[in-house]
Amino acid sequence: MRGAISGVLQTVLWAISGVLQTVLWAISGVLQTVLWAISGVLQTVLWADVRKKSAQKSHEPSLS
């Protein structure tokens, strides 16, 4: 009887750990995607800002 109970407990714990692993894997995947998207947006914004500033610098001498 004790062996059966420990077997059931082992199976339950194994199932829980499997679910937790899947949940953590999904969360880390979502976080990675979010961070990747944020860095992409930031890069685009910074790149546009740099281009705008360099465009302003190149226009300044022609205006004066």
pLDDT above 90 (res 57): no
Helices (H), 1-64: 2-63
Cα four-point dihedral sign 18, 24, 27, 31: negative
CA–CA separation, 51 and 49 (whole Å): 5
pLDDT above 70 (res 62): no
| Encoded tokens for 6 | 């420990």
What pLDDT was estimated at residue 24?
Answer: 97
End-to-end, the C-alpha distance of the chain in Å comes to 94
**Per-residue pLDDT tens digits for 4-21:** 999 999 999 999 999 999
What pLDDT was estimated at residue 36?
Answer: 96
pLDDT above 90 (res 1): no
